[in-house]
Structure 1
Amino acid sequence: MQKTLPPATAVWLAQTPYDVREVKAGQNFNPAAKQLTRFFDFSQTGGVIHATSGTVLSTIFNRSTGFAVVGKGKDRFTGDVALGIRGTKFTSGRDWFSNANASLATADNNSMVHSGFQKVFRSMQPALEKQLAPLLNTNSNGVVHCAGHSLGGALANLAAIWIKQRFGNRVALYTFGAPRVGLNDFALKSSGSIDKIYRCLHGDDPVPMVPVWPFFHAPLNGCSVLLTSATGINISSHSMMENPGYVTTSRGQWEDLQRHGDTIKAVRLAYERRFECSFSTHWQERLTHALITLLKDAGFLTAVSVQMSIGGIMTFYDHLAATIEKVALMSPQFETQVMGLLGHMLVFAGKLTVTITELSARFIRWVFNVTLNAMYSAARKAIEMVS
């Protein structure tokens, strides 16, 4: 049976890299958290790992900062390896986290992921190779525990995929408030290759909402660990240390924590009930399911999903808007279904006074824009608060 970190140890592995941002590359670092140092020694693995954050200034000046730490297992985790990766801060609304600027890149499992995440991971990969190779080349039985908070969770996911392919060791992934990393194929391959995945979230944390469909969380069609219930959207819920920070809520044993099913359900929304919608993670999930249901009912789901792999995000949403316009013209039933979806999206985005008088691709694209802007604004504020 594979060893897994207790929740308190896993969350401190994700928190600790925030303390090494200004530590020089290769410099030794000893975490203060006893929950972590009880099981792992960080003083003999090669020091702090740097990466380039992906911001404009970091790219221009090739400025790297401390991003990750590696620990060697001891006690009941002897032979195992711990890898913690931190999140990153953005300097403007036009960075690579922005939905409008998103593009795709190929991950180590030959599937499509958000290019911004992949770029940062690539910048730390040589240092990871240098530190992990001596620990794993002659240690095929050791488990590698990868943990990250926020965007660090996305990087930990990419690292877990690479470690599994490069070294073949068993890998456990622990993420806290992490965004989606890649498309359906990436989530599917992650679910099949990573031995254990604990995707932890607070129910009102906005960051796990993004990037939106057709990006998916891993494990695909699995369960997340719901540490607090969904009560709306609260940027402070993305915190690690402040109440209700992930360090506070990650307690007990995994089997005692609440699970939330991530399977896609059939959802069809009625326009006249749109004011029941609210700006919450619950309704973001329902809107996603309603969009997928609409495309599936109309027979366009596969074609629209393929379009994402061909073009960028902006091209994808232009194509999606044109497709939904076409769907609305197919039958009165589909027109009603489209009206219900768009009406709920407008209320979700705070546009309560807007009534739908047309179903043109231009109007549908505008509804997408205001809805996406509302979600990405909340997620960006949450990341800025804790980075």
Structure 2
Amino acid sequence: MMVKTLLKPNEAANAARTAYEFRGSNDLFSVYQEYEISELFRSDHNSSELFSGKAGAFGFKTSIGFGVLAMGKGRFENQALLACRGTATFQDVLTDLNPSPRGTGTGSVAHSGFVRNFASFKSNIHRFISIHRPEVIHCVGHSLGGALATLAADSIIHSSQATQTVLYTFGCPRVGTQGFAQKLSSHRLLGKDNIHRVYHSSDPVAMLPLWPFVHVPLPTGECYIGCDGFAFNPMKHSMLQYAKSVSGKTWLDLKRPHPTWNSRYQGWVKAMENAGGGGLSLAKLSILNVALNYMSRKVFKLSFQAFITAGMGVMTPLDQISYLLDKAAHVSTENKGLVAKIVSYVLRICGYSGLALPTLTLASIYHAFRTLIRLLNGMARLAMNAAH
């Protein structure tokens, strides 16, 4: 069921921006006033609270402020806001770039770094809900905060305190696998009509991590903002840029899928051949994702989700992609030709168009995709430095 009382795009953007301020300030009212949401949500300590969580990986974990929970007022009376901030520290970057699959606790599979991060403050959310019993919860976040808001929405709608939920994200990376996205997009307490994913076509973070992770909602419903001829521009990831892009717009203005390369290409091979040389873009990575989805369906059919689950905590997306394509190449001569085209395409868009295609092996496939992921992660780091 679609929620009638929504945050407007500029209100959602302002709420996402407030979450960054609570790393160094406990003055809710001043922050709410600065970002023009003081008339929407309560700032007193009886109706709101700040929360912290643990970010990082590889021994660098630390406790950092992550956002705010607050009851609403005015048109949001008896409703609540959950605002999670995005990447702002070195520890957060480690969380973002540690994407092996992990169980969410709700029967789905998602990015391990995000899941661990969310688990560190999950109890704050459910305690707040048990005390205040909101009728609707508005989950908002930018970048890493969008991923955490997505996991919060998933946790809320699958809990014993389940309530109607709305999700708003800006520049959000891919959070979970196909099953995760489908559950959120079809759940009666959330659903695709209550998911508002805003992204710039040139934001590299919104295209990470690669397959097998996918965005919500499915099958469509994103708020696409085209810019810069689709070439990646790390500065377009900043929350300030998103706030400017949605200013004065309605959700109806924004809700449109990105162009036809987001659909399931019947001719993805031809699209790869016509993609030109180096230079990463939304279009080129979208074509690549279509190719990987095609190969996974062709090779694994209905068993691939079981393969992902079996590899949780062990196999990263790079491992999974390499295993998938190596397995596909050994199934048939036709598949081997398709895999060769995919690997050649990856090297070409990374700027290695003059190189001869190496012999197809698990190692050569792994090397090609590692080159791509390193390049994307470098762009993501630049983007996350401009996060807000």
Give the alignment's TM-score, normalised by structure 2.
0.86
Q: In 2, Cα distance between the equivalents of 1:35 and 1:58?
A: 35
Partner of 1:91: 90
Residue 8 of structure 1 pairs with residue 39 of structure 2: no
Task: Write out aligned runs for 1:234-383 (5 A).
Answer: 234-241=233-240, 245-251=241-247, 252-260=249-257, 263-270=263-270, 273=274, 275=276, 278-296=279-297, 298-311=298-311, 312=313, 314=315, 317-318=318-319, 320-383=321-384
Give the alignment's TM-score, normalised by structure 1.
0.87
Instruction: From 176, 181, 192, give the equivalent of 2:186.
Output: 192
Partner of 1:117: 114
Q: In 1, Cα distance between the equivalents of 2:351 and 2:301?
A: 28
CA contact (8 A) 1:274 1:347 kept: no
Q: In 2, Cα distance between the equivalents of 1:93 and 1:41?
A: 28
Q: In 2, Cα distance between the equivalents of 1:154 and 1:93?
A: 12
CA contact (8 A) 1:274 1:340 kept: no
Task: Write out aligned runs for 1:65-144 (5 A).
Answer: 65-91=64-90, 95-98=94-97, 101-136=98-133, 139=134, 142-144=135-137
Comparing 10-19 and 249-258, the one that deviates more:
249-258
* Secondary structure of 2:257 counterpart: strand
Q: In 1, Cα distance between the equivalents of 2:235 and 2:317?
A: 31
Task: Write out aligned runs for 1:132-171 (5 A).
Answer: 132-136=129-133, 139=134, 142-166=135-159, 167-171=161-165
Comparing 368-377 and 153-162, the one that deviates more:
368-377
Distance 1:327 1:353, change over 3 A: same
Q: Shift of the alpha carbon at 1:33?
A: 3.7
1:97-154 Cα distance to aligned partner (Å, 9 max, x none): 32xx433332242211112111121111222233332221xx5xx2211100000001
CA RMSD of aligned residues (A): 2.6
Q: Shift of the alpha carbon at 1:184?
A: 1.3
Q: Shift of the alpha carbon at 1:276?
A: 5.2
Distance 1:322 1:145, change over 3 A: closer
Q: Shift of the alpha carbon at 1:222?
A: 1.7
Distance 1:33 1:165, change over 3 A: farther
Q: Which amino acid aligns with 2:306?
A: V
Q: In 2, Cα distance between the equivalents of 1:322 and 1:240?
A: 36
CA contact (8 A) 1:187 1:216 kept: yes
Comparing 89-98 and 339-348, the one that deviates more:
89-98
Instruction: From 195, 199, 202, give the equivalent of 1:201.
Output: 199
CA contact (8 A) 2:101 2:316 kept: no
CA contact (8 A) 2:278 2:350 kept: no
Q: In 1, Cα distance between the equivalents of 2:176 and 2:316?
A: 17
Partner of 1:223: 221
Q: Shift of the alpha carbon at 1:227?
A: 2.5
Q: Shift of the alpha carbon at 1:338?
A: 2.1
Length, aligned pairs only: 372
